[in-house]
Amino acid sequence: MELVIRLAGAAGQGIQSLGEILARAFFRSGLYLHAELSYHSRIRGGENAFTLRISDQPVFATRKNADLLVVLTEEMWQAYRGKLREGAWVVAEESLGIEGPRVLRLPAGKLAREKLKLPIAMGVILLGAAAKLLGLPEEKLAQALQEVFGEKAGPNLQALSLGYEHGSPPVWELPRPQFGPGERMLLTGGQAVGAGAIAAGCKFLAAYPMTPGTPVMEFLAQRSERFGIVVEQAEDEIAAINMALGAAYGGARAMVTTSGGGFALMVEGLSLAGMIETPVVIHLGQRPGPATGLPTRTSQENLLFALYAGHGEFPRFLCAPRDQESAFYCTIRAFELAEKYQVPGIILTDQFLVDSYAVVPPLDPQRIPVRSHVLSLEELEALPAYQRFALTPSGVSPRALPGLSPHLVLVDSDEHDEFGRITEDLEIRKAMVEKRLKKEKGLKEEVEGPVVYPDVQPSGKTVVLGWGSTFGALREAVEELNSRGGDFLLVHFQDLWPQKWEEIADFLRSARRLITVENNAWGQLGKLLAQETGILPGRHVARYDGRPFVPEELVEVLLREA
Amino acid sequence: MRPEEYLADVEIHWCPGCGNFQIREALVRALAALELPPHRVVLVTGIGQAAKIVHYLRVNGFNGLHGRTIAAAAGLKMVRPDLVVIAESGDGDLYGEGGNHLIHNIRRNVDITVIVHDNRVYGLTKGQASPTAPPGYTTRAQPFGVLSRPFNPLALALALGAGFVAQAFSGDVERTSQIMAAAIRYRGFALVNVLHPCPSWNRVQTFAWYKERIRAVGEEHDPTDFAKAMRLALSDQEVIPVGILYAVEGPTFEERHPVIRRGPPALQPFPALEDLRSVLGEFL
């Protein structure tokens, strides 16, 4: 059973808050949900649509068409009237003059102005009417409204009641609760990355605001005192990564958060991280490019960029979380692997994942062990001499922090000797290149292979390849196709570099056909796969209009492609 | 410790007669005068001839990217306020490529000392004009002479509210050393612009040229007088002031920051499990 509710209005009408209230009310009713925010890059007017999908089972994808549209402006009515399911209801502000059998019209604007003297409350009035139609008890909505609005809840609670008064009796029967209080979590991908960073012991974040990187910065900033994290808004992204590297040299687990354009500015710093073997975590929330592109939309255009960014050759860890739950664990792993191998760790998300809410099993802060990877005071004391870049079999040199012992710690962006001194000795140069690259061997042993769904061999099947936040939509599409007698297999990547490409090549060889599905035009995973295995997928399902994939459209297109 | 104990026993790649030698001498004298153990000091440098100084000293070092010296130093100081952090590089690095970080870290008032080797040319890339080069100065890259006005680091720093602004001349090692010591001791962002000749590339601002124009700020100068400091900073090229132009203490970034105030953030333990449970509880 599922129900899709869409709230649509202009920026400045509080659509996001209204959506959050409704999502919380369903969550508190023990229902699974996915909520997706689609918005224009502006502060007033334009489009703001919150698509809430309620289900009796976990969902990680959005839908194109809605069962219930709550609409606040004429512009949004025109944009979404064609995206309604059969039998859909519309809850609308009366002045829009929308006619129809299943249209609930409310003088919400008038009520807000005249009864409440609070024009902005129009949205809450419509929300109340919609909630009544959905069969949600008013107490549940009121509780959620207080959670979202806090002290500002007062007059909005009145607005909510007005909505319930003017609403119609329920037309849907909601599923019974699927989980009890405390048994599930509701969060966005951005919050999951932020919580993961805190759990990993992050102590420093520098960032220049850029959508969709900013939610991670704000999440940490609001909890910085509690967890002893220095969160600083840098003058630019170049400063951000160099500040993070200075902090990491001093021993703080450090991160930056940005999008493609900001990451482009950080690239020289990324290369520095590779050279001075100083860990840093980069959260790269993708949006469509090139250049400024579509600032508030989603894309997967930066896979190859994130993988190859940086002059020179050095290892890195690159991971693209598949959903809100895995964004939490991926972030902790990125910190741990960056520290252990003294490499940059990149978390590749996108606007869709960062801004979307989902219901997940409780996050376990102990699942990924967090350990110190620097020399302890006792170890430092026992060392007769110290060399920051000592050559070792694994390529990883013991890492000392400056100022904790008489040992000096020197790092250099020039090629350097074991101590860290600048050198042009070409034998040392060779040894240092080999040392740096050797670290990738260890790192490769720690990566996770792709998820295979269903968990069977690919022989004779059409294999759909994807990565990152498309998992939810692709899994549903494959499930639907197979239930209709199709023979599809999903191979979905989270860890993208390093990766055990030989094993993947062996696995894929018996497939009948390979199709990549990505939010980009090029089929970047396909190119990477071809480069590493010689296997070039025959088809690419591209989406680059800035919107996420939805399962029902994927089913149609995969049927055609297969 | 004696000054020479801060010197690294390595081959030096500066040109004979370069002012960098005197600047290095002045710095080690300052470190010795302040009795700073080498392992408590981090010298953050960028790229260029001046930036190589980190390899010629026996202290901790972060030799980062060209232009990003102050950014790295600021990030380090924010998590390790227990360390003495000195950012040192050339005029091209700190005033050209890295100008933005200079501006915004003055605003932050991070407690770091910024020592700029100002020889008005690019040494390592062979003689192009730097931001402080005078108009008309011709080079292979500027055949028509420099057309832009020179960058005035002292006036800029003062205008942005820097609390410690000084200028030194490499030819006067003792005075330079005293200025550096005062800058390191100063709580907050301290800028020391050190003028020095470049015998290889700068044929105009030679040792003799500076000798004729340098005027030490006298005993009577009041370093808390902002207007006077600004007048000195804006003096024409015929009279070049040397000394501490301005020194007024105010709260540093670290002192104002509620997290850093509690002790070096980098050295705090991982979060306790119950605290993590409570932050994750927000999602329940």
- The mean pLDDT value of chain B amounts to 96
Assess if residue A171 is contained within a domain.
no
Are both A139 and A273 inside the same structural domain?
Answer: no
Are both A38 and A149 inside the same structural domain?
Answer: yes
Are both A352 and A466 inside the same structural domain?
Answer: no
| Identity of the amino acid at B162 | A
- Name which of B63, B73, B276 is nearest A365 (Cβ-Cβ): B276
Whether residue A46 has pLDDT greater than 90: no
- Name which of A236, A249, A365 is nearest B62 (Cβ-Cβ): A249
What pLDDT is recorded for position A319? 98
Q: What is the pLDDT of residues A356-406, one digit of tens each?
A: 999 999 999 999 999 999 999 999 999 999 999 999 999 999 999 999 999
Whether residue A44 has pLDDT greater than 90: no
B284 vs A contacts (CB less than 8 Å): 181-182, 184-185, 362
A238 vs B contacts (CB less than 8 Å): 67-68, 71, 100
Structural domain for B232, as ranges:
3-281
Number of structural domains (chain B) is: 1
Nearest-CA distance A223 → chain B (Å): 9
CB burial of B176-192 (b: ≥16 within 10 Å; e: otherwise) equals: bbbbbbbbbebebbbbb
Assess if residue A180 is contained within a domain.
no
Structural domain for A408, as ranges:
377-445
Whether residue A165 has pLDDT greater than 80: yes
Peptide bond preceding B81: is omega within 30 degrees of 0, i.e. cis? Answer: no
- Name which of A185, A234, A407 is nearest B39 (Cβ-Cβ): A407
Nearest-CA distance B204 → chain A (Å): 31
Q: What is the pLDDT of residues A87-118, one digit of tens each?
A: 999 999 999 999 999 999 999 999 999 999 99
**B198 close to B50: Cβ distance less than 8 angstroms:** no
The residue in chain A having the minimum alpha-carbon distance to the alpha carbon of residue B82 is A403
Q: What is the pLDDT of residues A417-455, one digit of tens each?
A: 999 999 999 999 999 999 999 999 999 999 999 999 999
CB-based contact A230 B42, cutoff 8 Å:
no
Assess if residue A179 is contained within a domain.
no
A181 vs B contacts (CB less than 8 Å): 284
Assess if residue A142 is contained within a domain.
yes
Assess if residue A173 is contained within a domain.
no
Are both A409 and A483 inside the same structural domain?
Answer: no
Whether residue B237 has pLDDT greater than 90: no
- The mean pLDDT value of chain A amounts to 97
Nearest-CA distance A179 → chain B (Å): 12
**A142 close to A160: Cβ distance less than 8 angstroms:** yes
User: Would you place residue A126 in the very low, low, confident or very high pLDDT band (cuts 50, 70, 90)?
Assistant: very high
Structure tokens at A220: 């940490």
The residue in chain A having the minimum alpha-carbon distance to the alpha carbon of residue B262 is A228
Query: What mean pLDDT do residues A62-81 have?
Result: 96
Which of A243, A366, A381 has the highest number of chain B CBs within 10 A, making it the mutation to test binding with B? Answer: A243
Whether residue A45 has pLDDT greater than 90: no
Structure tokens at A434: 């080999």
Separation CA A50–CA A169 (nearest Å): 23
Q: Could you tell me if B228 lies within 8 Å of chain A, comparing CB atoms?
A: no
- Please count the residue pairs, one from chain A and one from chain B, whose beta carbons lie less than 8 angstroms apart: 190
Nearest-CA distance B76 → chain A (Å): 4
Peptide bond preceding A454: is omega within 30 degrees of 0, i.e. cis? Answer: yes
Whether residue A43 has pLDDT greater than 80: no
A250 vs B contacts (CB less than 8 Å): 42, 75-76, 79-80, 83, 264, 266
Whether residue B59 has pLDDT greater than 80: yes
CB-based contact A239 B270, cutoff 8 Å:
no
CA-closest candidate to residue B117, choices B14, B217, B6 = B14
Are both A436 and A541 inside the same structural domain?
Answer: no
Complex prediction ipTM? 0.98
B260 vs A contacts (CB less than 8 Å): 230
Report the CATH number at residue A262. 3.40.50.970
Structure tokens at A281: 């975590």
What pLDDT is recorded for position A40? 84
Cα of B232 vs its chain's centroid, Å: 19
Which residue among A445, A464, A498 closes a domain?
A: A445
CB-based contact A242 B268, cutoff 8 Å:
no
B270 vs A contacts (CB less than 8 Å): 201, 370, 372
Nearest-CA distance A269 → chain B (Å): 8
Nearest-CA distance B2 → chain A (Å): 17
| Identity of the amino acid at B9 | D
Tracing tokens 């501006």 back to the chain, one arrives at: B103
Separation CA A331–CA A557 (nearest Å): 33
Separation CA B83–CA B75 (nearest Å): 12
Number of structural domains (chain A) is: 4
Q: What is the pLDDT of residues A232-287, one digit of tens each?
A: 999 999 999 999 999 999 999 999 999 999 999 999 999 999 999 999 999 999 99
With 0.80 as the threshold, say if the pTM is over it: yes
Cβ-based neighbours of A160, under 8 Å, separated by 6 or more: A124, A125, A127, A128, A131, A138, A141, A142, A145
Nearest-CA distance A320 → chain B (Å): 21
Structure tokens at A418: 């074991």
**B61 close to A410: Cβ distance less than 8 angstroms:** yes
Which of A229, A410, A415, A424 has the highest number of chain B CBs within 10 A, making it the mutation to test binding with B? Answer: A410
- Within a 13 Å sphere around the CA of B254, how many CA atoms are in the beta-carbon half? 22
- Name which of A238, A363, A410 is nearest B68 (Cβ-Cβ): A238
Which residue among A387, A413, A445 closes a domain?
A: A445
CB-based contact B266 A408, cutoff 8 Å:
no
What pLDDT is recorded for position A445? 98
Are both A253 and A205 inside the same structural domain?
Answer: yes
CB-based contact A246 B103, cutoff 8 Å:
no
Are both A426 and A477 inside the same structural domain?
Answer: no
In B25-64, the residues whose Cβ lies within 8 Å of chain A are 37-40, 42, 44, 47, 52, 54-55, 58-64
Are both A277 and A397 inside the same structural domain?
Answer: no
Separation CA B118–CA B242 (nearest Å): 13
Nearest-CA distance B156 → chain A (Å): 17
Are both A83 and A140 inside the same structural domain?
Answer: yes
User: Would you place residue B183 in the very low, low, confident or very high pLDDT band (cuts 50, 70, 90)?
Assistant: very high
Peptide bond preceding A450: is omega within 30 degrees of 0, i.e. cis? Answer: no
Are both A459 and A439 inside the same structural domain?
Answer: no
Which of B70, B80, B112, B114 has the highest number of chain A CBs within 10 A, making it the mutation to test binding with A? Answer: B80
Structure tokens at B284: 């329940």
Peptide bond preceding A290: is omega within 30 degrees of 0, i.e. cis? Answer: yes
Query: What mean pLDDT do residues A331-337 have?
Result: 98
Q: Could you tell me if B12 lies within 8 Å of chain A, comparing CB atoms?
A: no
Nearest-CA distance B259 → chain A (Å): 5
Assess if residue A332 is contained within a domain.
yes
Report the CATH number at residue B14. 3.40.50.970
Assess if residue A520 is contained within a domain.
yes
Whether residue A484 has pLDDT greater than 90: yes
Q: What is the pLDDT of residues B70-109, one digit of tens each?
A: 999 999 999 999 999 999 999 999 999 999 999 999 999 9
What pLDDT is recorded for position B172? 97
Assess if residue A478 is contained within a domain.
yes
Are both A439 and A471 inside the same structural domain?
Answer: no
B39 vs A contacts (CB less than 8 Å): 402-403, 405-408
Separation CA A530–CA A534 (nearest Å): 4
A201 vs B contacts (CB less than 8 Å): 270-271
CB-based contact B266 A203, cutoff 8 Å:
yes
Nearest-CA distance B98 → chain A (Å): 9
A235 vs B contacts (CB less than 8 Å): 100-101, 103-104
Q: What is the pLDDT of residues A497-518, one digit of tens each?
A: 999 999 999 999 999 999 999 9
Radius of gyration of chain A (CA): 26
Are both A405 and A349 inside the same structural domain?
Answer: no
CB-based contact B271 A201, cutoff 8 Å:
yes
Report the CATH number at residue A513. 3.40.50.920
Separation CA A389–CA A376 (nearest Å): 17
User: Would you place residue A561 in the very low, low, confident or very high pLDDT band (cuts 50, 70, 90)?
Assistant: confident
Separation CA B71–CA B101 (nearest Å): 6
